[in-house]
Amino acid sequence: MPLIALDAMGGDNAPDAIVAGALDAVQQLDVSIALIGNRSVLDTYGIDHPKITLIHAPDVILMDDPPLQAFRKKKESSIHVGLTLVKEGKADAFLSAGNTGAIMSCALFILGRIKGIDRPALASVIPTNAGCALMLDMGSNVDSKPINLEQYAIMGHFFSINALGVPHPRIGLINIGEEKEKGNQLTHDTYARLESNTKIQFIGNLEGKDILNHKADVIVCDGFIGNTLLKFGEGLVDYIFHEIKSTVASGSLATKIGGWLLTPAFRALKKKIDYEEYGGAPLLGVNGVALVAHGKSKKKAVVSAIRTAMTCVNNRMISKMAIAFDTDDNQ
């Protein structure tokens, strides 16, 4: 049974949503939870479950704390303590909805990189018209080299197989056109590396319109582009649903009736694109399973992220990735 180190203090809805998610997870899943946070706070919840252990961590990393400062000055934070449990083999994975920069910095310093990986990358599972796809990097590296993007592709390949159940992931490179010669020097050089890499199934360049059409299972880009696309997508979803509600509310009686009749369809669409369905974003390339949940996560998202962490652990994703990179092929 996997043991997940869960940061109880990170996120906009912590610790209420995190505690609720932990309680739901141990009821629904074959998992144990190390719930990490200030004991004086956690004790107020009266948690009494054989699969949940409370671990004291008096320091709290705030959302606006500088990442390096958080690592150096808050050694007893829930993030630091949780990642140390993974490092020492006392937990199988770490999950937090807290300060993303701090999680990445602490994970890099505490867990270290998998041998052969230059820079870890933050990935995100995104909905498409035929299931979901994985996109990386989502902002951990805004200045990437071709070798970094090639490594993102390989890491995404392994995560898709071992966490998303895609047997033969198709890898696509974000560019301004499908043609091989399109783009800048980074995409030109990256294309050449991906095309010659026999470990992955590279299908070529992807335009922005291809992302949601599931043309690829793994979508590779640098962190500047990935983070911009992610934030635009979140804003677009909010805009669309706001406009739908506004149009129905201010419309005619026929419009209101039509909106009422379409309510089940709207709910199904919202469920499909809801980040809570997909849980945490994996930090790939560090030597341990580490996931970053959305800052607004509620208990459903926490359970989803715990399920993803369990899948990574049970499928030995880190060891498989380490074997793939323990060669001279990627240097």
pLDDT in tens, 303-325: 999 999 998 999 898 988 888 88
7 phi/psi in degrees, rounded to 5: -75, 110
How high is the pLDDT of residue 241? 75
pLDDT in tens, 140-158: 888 889 999 999 999 999 9
Q: Are 206 and 220 in contact (CB under 8 A)?
A: no
Provide Rg for the chain, Cα atoms.
21
Q: Look up residue 79 and give its two tokens.
A: 């993030």
Q: Which residues contact 103 (CB under 8 A, 6 or more apart)?
A: 10, 79, 96, 283, 290, 292
Q: Are 99 and 70 in contact (CB under 8 A)?
A: yes
Q: Look up residue 154 and give its two tokens.
A: 């390989």
Cα separation, 117 vs 129, whole angstroms: 32
pLDDT in tens, 173-199: 999 998 888 889 999 999 999 999 998
What is the DSSP pairing of strand 289-292 with strand 201-206?
Answer: unpaired
Is residue 296 predicted with pLDDT exceeding 90? no
**What is the share, in percent, of the chain residues with pLDDT greater than 70?**
93
Domains annotated for the chain, with CATH where assigned, are 1-117+285-331 (3.40.718.10), 123-276 (3.40.718.10)
Is residue 56 predicted with pLDDT exceeding 60? yes
What is the DSSP pairing of strand 281-284 with strand 218-220?
Answer: unpaired
Write the DSSP symbol of residue 49: -
Between 254 and 225, the higher pLDDT residue: 225
* Degrees to nearest 5, angle at CA 103 with 102 and 106: 80
How high is the pLDDT of residue 207? 93
pLDDT in tens, 227-277: 888 888 878 777 877 777 887 778 887 777 777 767 777 666 666 555 555
Which of 3, 205, 29, 7 minimizes the C-alpha distance to 91? 3
How high is the pLDDT of residue 258? 76
For residue 33, what are the β-bridge partners? 4, 52
Average pLDDT score, the chain = 88
How distant is the alpha carbon of residue 255 from its chain centre? 38
- Which pTM value belongs to this model? 0.85
Is residue 111 predicted with pLDDT exceeding 70? yes
* pLDDT-wise least confident of 11-15, 17-21, 131-135, 261-265: 261-265
Question: What order do you get walking across the sheet with 131-136 strand by strand?
Answer: 52-56, 32-37, 3-7, 93-96, 289-292, 281-284, 121-128, 131-136, 218-220, 170-174, 201-206
Is residue 278 predicted with pLDDT exceeding 80? no
